[in-house]
Every structure is written in structure tokens, then in C-alpha cells.
Amino acid sequence: MIFHQFYLPCLAHASYLAGSNGECAIVDPQRDVDQYIDEAARRSLTIKFIIETHLHADFVSGHRELAARTGAEIVFGAAANAEFPHRAVHDGDVLRVGDIELHALATPGHTPESISWLIVDDGKPVKVLTGDTLFIGDVGRPDLAGARGFTSEQMAALLYHSLHAKILALPDDVEVWPAHGAGSACGKNISKETFSTIGIQRRTNYALQPMPREEFVKMLTTEIAEPPPYFRYDAEMNRRGARALVEIDAPALTPQQVRERDAIVLDVRDSDSFAAGHLPHSINIALGGQYASWAGTLLSPKDRIAIVAESAEKAREAVMRLARVGFENVAGFLDGGVLAWSNAGLELDQMPQISVAELHDIETRVLDVRRAGEFEGGHVPGAINIPLHELQRRIDEVQAPVTVICAGGYRSSAAVSILAQHGLQATNVIGGTAAWIRAGFETVSS
């Protein structure tokens, strides 16, 4: 058997190639699909099936483009009601790929249509691709099917049955390969490990410990973080099937064209470059971090976007990564970047920054934009907490001037740029709480 995991860190997304004897299946592909075609060709495999474990909400899949380019058949759980040609499978259905078999295990709970796939090689179950049903150290969130008439409690009860009747019924040595890793918003506490075994998860995963269904349901439906706003949009986009990436145009724009476009200016450079000089009223979401998911959280798919980057190559990367989360309404990118803007005689703004040593020696309001759990684990004394994903709707709670801190400076730079759009004076802390702790300064816990 041939097996390969593709891992996309910025979306904490895992996709897979499983093959044998000249054929393969691709499972849960990301939107840009060249790597699957290249890997299959390198291994002399024909892509026979493109399998989706469920309607993904946190990224847009490339299933339609991959099918168009390879002739492979798209496979979905029947309950997905996908709006394009596909094979609708049910519990117990089997796909043969070369000499291996892929057995469909209906595992609703994260979504109604979730299907896990058990790979059987020479009659022996060896791996299970669990999608978002079972993660390493966690399980899928049960609150994403509300638009389809299900409560979180109903979905959690279904998930309990799926885990105990289907997943935990597998032998302990079967390997577990999920669709996401640490950092994904599809779970609460996903491990940094990208695979495990049924036996290890049975012993160590908090959600798989012996407990009544009622306790499991309560545990999974209490204090669920609000899903990013683009999740529902992406799930429906995956049901319809996205267009090919080549159809998304992002032309080079002159400074005057950027001024004339009714567009949000998205600066994807690092925080230091942004601080040194940026277009007025622009928002900073750097390519260096979880760019796509933060763009999906802080912007809307309806927003018209103009990109500012350090090069045309980086701008095109930014456009492609936006497309991975369904953001296609890009007006273009500033040709020549900030230098072209400055050379045109146009004004640049700057973002004030201070070191943790300077922060330690002054009196200032401190706004910590990390998630609540991070803040509670230790923060700068006197800081208040408004997580970045809540900042836009809680902007009235911010008293300026304010000094903004996060874990390392990435989220705080975005926060400062958002506050500036609202006319609020804010300063970014270089290096964040990580630098504060390294300097030996006190933190307090909540």
C-alpha cells in the first residue's frame, strides 16, 4: 500500500493519498490541487477517487477542479446532498483502489454527513481516516449543523454513538489519521501530533474516556468557542463545488487605482514592515502566521480586497491563500508595494511599537487579544482581555490610548490596525507575552 499525508500548517489541514497497484484515492484535498496530481504521477498512480469525509467548513476543497483535471470520481456521504456529479455513499459501502479497500463508516456528529474511511490491506484494517470526527487528543465540535436543523446537543449525541459504535470498535493497532491538527477551530484541544492509533486515543483522549452519553453531550456543548463567520459560507461553497483557481483574477494595480477602488486594503507584510509604513486604514494580517483563517475571521467573503505585499509573488500567494477559505473578491494588488505608493507622493501611516522592557517601565492600559484560555494561563498584570476574533464587535469596550499584546506580536499587530481604522490610538508590543516571560517579568493568572 502507498500512503502519504499532505499537511498545510496555516490551516492545520491534513489531506491524504492512499493507493495500490497503479491506482489511488485523494482524501479531503485542499483547494490548490497540483501537489496531488504531481505526487500521483511521481508514484505512477492514476487518481481514481476524490473522497470528502464531510462538507468542510474551515476551507474550500479542490474536489471539482481535481476531478476535472484527472477524470476521477468525487465521493461524498449521501447526506451531504452535493450539487454536482458524485458518488453518494452510505455506511458499509466499499471502494476498491488497486489491492486495497476503503470501507465507509458513517460517523455523524461533527456534521450529519460525516464518513470515516477504514483502509483494509490484505484483509486487515490498518488505518482509519477520521475527517473531523476524531482528532488526535480531541473530537470534532458538534455545533456546525445548526443551519440544517440540528441542535448542538443532537449532534453531540450522534457523535457519542459514532465514536463508541464505529471508531472505538476498531482494533487498537489501527492508525488514526484525522483531517486537522493543532490550531484548527474545528476542535477544542487538538494535539500537535498528526496521527496516532486507536489504542493510544482510547487511553489518552479526554473525550473517549468512559462516561455516560449525557455527560459527553454536556462536556462537548459547554463553552464552545464561536465558529469563525466564514465557516457556514465555506460549507455551502463545498456543497456547490468551487471554481478552478485559474479563474480567479487579481491584477496589478497602480497607486491611483488602489485609491479609486472601493476596497479594504489588506497588508500581508510582517508587523515590523507594517509598523514602518503602510497605507492609511489598512489592516495587517501577515502571511507568516495563520493568515487564511485570520483573514476569514476578520474579513467577510463579500469584502472587496486590495492586497499590499512585499512583492508580486507574495501578493499572488496571498490571493491563493484567500481562495483556500473562499475569499475570491480580490480587486488586485498594489504593483510595487508601499514604495510605489510613497513614490507617488501619497501619505503613509506608521504603527507605534514598544519593547516589553518599555512596557514594564510605563503606566498604560494593556489590551491582551489572545484567546481566553491563553489569557487565563498567564498575562501582564492589569491587562484586560478581548480576543482578536471578538474585537470588531466589542470595539466600544476599548479605551484609547491602549497598548496591545498577544503571544508573539502577530495578532496584536492586526488588532492595532483594526483599532486605527476606528480612530483609536494603539501601540503594539514587540514579541508579545513570549518576550515578556523571557525577560523575566511577572505574569498573573485568572
The answer to whether residues 138 and 270 belong to one domain is no
Across 197-224, average pLDDT:
96
The answer to whether residues 218 and 267 belong to one domain is no
The answer to whether residues 296 and 358 belong to one domain is no
257 occurs within a structural domain: yes
- Domain closes at, from 187, 220, 239: 239
**What per-residue confidence (pLDDT) applies to 225?**
82
The answer to whether residues 232 and 269 belong to one domain is no
The answer to whether residues 154 and 17 belong to one domain is yes
- Yes or no: say if 7 and 181 are a contact pair by the CB < 8 Å rule: yes
How far apart are alpha carbons 8 and 192 in whole angstroms?
Answer: 13
445 occurs within a structural domain: no
What CATH number is attached to the domain comprising 434? 3.40.250.10
443 occurs within a structural domain: no
Q: What pairing do the DSSP bridges indicate for beta strands 13-20 and 23-27?
A: antiparallel
pLDDT of 145 > 80? The answer is: no
Across 47-53, average pLDDT:
98
The answer to whether residues 52 and 161 belong to one domain is yes
Q: Which residues are CB-contacts of 294 (< 8 A; sequence separation ≥ 6)?
A: 285, 388, 411, 414
**What per-residue confidence (pLDDT) applies to 147?**
60
The answer to whether residues 281 and 315 belong to one domain is yes
The answer to whether residues 192 and 289 belong to one domain is no
**What per-residue confidence (pLDDT) applies to 146?**
64
* Enclosing domain of residue 359: 353-438
pLDDT of 274 > 90? The answer is: yes
> Can you give the three-state secondary structure of the chain, one letter per residue?
CEEEEEEEHHHCEEEEEEEECCEEEEECCCCCCHHHHHHHHHCCCEEEEEECCCCCCCCCCCHHHHHHHHCCEEEEEHHHCCCCCCEEECCCCEEEECCEEEEEEECCCCCCCCEEEEEEECCEEEEEEEECCEECCEECCCCCCHHHCCCHHHHHHHHHHHHHHHHCCCCCCCEEEECECCCCCCCCCCCCCCCEEHHHHHHHCHHHCCCCHHHHHHHHHCCCCCCCCHHHHHHHHHHHCCCCHHHCCCCEECHHHHHHCCCEEEECCCHHHHHHCECCCCEECCCCCCHHHHHHHHCCCCCCEEEECCCHHHHHHHHHHHHCCCCCCEEEEECCHHHHHHHCCCCCECCCEECHHHHHCCCCCEEECCCHHHHHHCECCCCEECCHHHCHHHHHHCCCCEEEECCCCHHHHHHHHHHHHCCCCEEEECCHHHHHHHCCCCCECC
444 occurs within a structural domain: no
What CATH number is attached to the domain comprising 23? 3.60.15.10
The answer to whether residues 172 and 315 belong to one domain is no
**What per-residue confidence (pLDDT) applies to 45?**
98
Instruction: Indicate the average pLDDT of the chain.
Output: 96
- Domain closes at, from 323, 343, 363: 343
| pLDDT tens digits along 68-81 | 999 999 999 999 99
Distance set, CA 194 to CA 108, 154, 203, 255, 318 (Å): 22, 28, 17, 44, 26
**What per-residue confidence (pLDDT) applies to 50?**
98
Number of domains observed in the structure of the chain: 3
The answer to whether residues 19 and 108 belong to one domain is yes
Amino acid at position 295, single letter: A
Query: Which residues does residue 433 pair with via DSSP β-bridges, in sequence order?
Result: none
pTM of the model: 0.92
| pLDDT tens digits along 318-336 | 999 999 999 999 999 999 9
The answer to whether residues 17 and 124 belong to one domain is yes
25 occurs within a structural domain: yes
pLDDT band at 39 (very low <50, low <70, confident <90, very high): very high
The answer to whether residues 86 and 176 belong to one domain is yes
